[in-house]
């Protein structure tokens, strides 16, 4: 009888835990959870950097729940091998915190935030003066493709990410296409052509050609 009660309790706890989240899963060495408020948390229980699994096309591990996601945070060091389509189509995503996302080996960031129409906040790990010189996680040294990376992010007003090494990038096409609210950018070291349709874009600071 005690064994039956114990089994029932474990089952109930499992069901309650599952109901507490919209979705959860495993990708590579990492776990991901979307809670009932739409907060997507990506993490590892290991003390060492965990490698996030790879995917084909726009089938990121959480893509079936993209419309439920409101924030994204990496709460422990996570190493990505690709960022293409990572949060594509997360139309209700408001804020992304990338402090623990390591992109040293990433070559493709195309469509990473494409279609994130509600995105207003993108925070990277950087020093207090908004310079990325001390940043050691969000690196772009090996990235070759940034096409449509922020396409359709129509709520994004300011973008500050300085001192990126983008010398390997060969495709910046439509990187900020449709960013109709974007007024200020500081992308020192990054060559960007102002999209004719982005009529609100009035100040691009310290843009240099490669």
pLDDT digits (tens, 9 = 90+) for 71-126: 999 999 999 999 999 999 999 999 999 989 999 999 999 999 999 999 999 987 64
Separation between Cα atoms, residue 171 and residue 178, nearest integer Å: 17
Residue 52, both tokens: 């996030």
Q: Binning pLDDT at 50, 70 and 90, where does residue 196 land?
A: very low
Collapsing DSSP to helix, strand or coil, 33 comes out as strand
pLDDT reported for residue 142: 94
What CA–CA distances, in Å, run from 73 to 13, 69, 98, 99, 138? 26, 11, 6, 8, 14
Q: What Rg do the C-alpha atoms of the chain give, in angstroms? A: 19
pLDDT for 18 beyond 50: yes
Sign of the torsion angle spanned by Cα atoms 160, 162, 164, 170: positive
Paired tokens of 202: 């009035």
How much of the chain, in percent, has pLDDT values that exceed 70? 72
């Amino acid at each position: 009888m005690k064994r039956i009660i114990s089994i029932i309790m474990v089952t109930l706890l499992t069901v309650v835990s599952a109901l507490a989240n919209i979705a959860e899963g495993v990708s590579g060495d990492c776990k991901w959870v979307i809670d009932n408020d739409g907060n997507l948390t990506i993490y590892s229980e290991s003390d060492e950097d965990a490698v996030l699994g790879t995917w084909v096309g726009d089938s990121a591990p959480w893509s079936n729940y993209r419309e439920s996601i409101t924030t994204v945070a990496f709460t422990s060091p996570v190493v990505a091998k690709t960022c293409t389509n990572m949060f594509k189509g997360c139309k209700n995503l408001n804020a992304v915190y990338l402090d623990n996302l390591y992109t040293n080996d990433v070559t493709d960031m195309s469509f990473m935030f494409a279609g994130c129409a509600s995105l207003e906040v993108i925070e990277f790990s950087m020093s207090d003066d908004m310079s990325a010189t001390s940043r050691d996680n969000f690196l772009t040294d090996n990235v070759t493709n940034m096409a449509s990376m922020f396409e359709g992010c129509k709520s994004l007003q300011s973008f500050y990410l300085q001192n990126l090494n983008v010398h390997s990038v060969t495709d910046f096409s439509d990187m900020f296409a449709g960013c109709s609210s974007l007024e200020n950018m500081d992308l020192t070291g990054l060559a960007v052509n102002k999209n004719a349709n982005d009529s609100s874009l009035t100040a691009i600071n310290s843009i240099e050609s490669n």
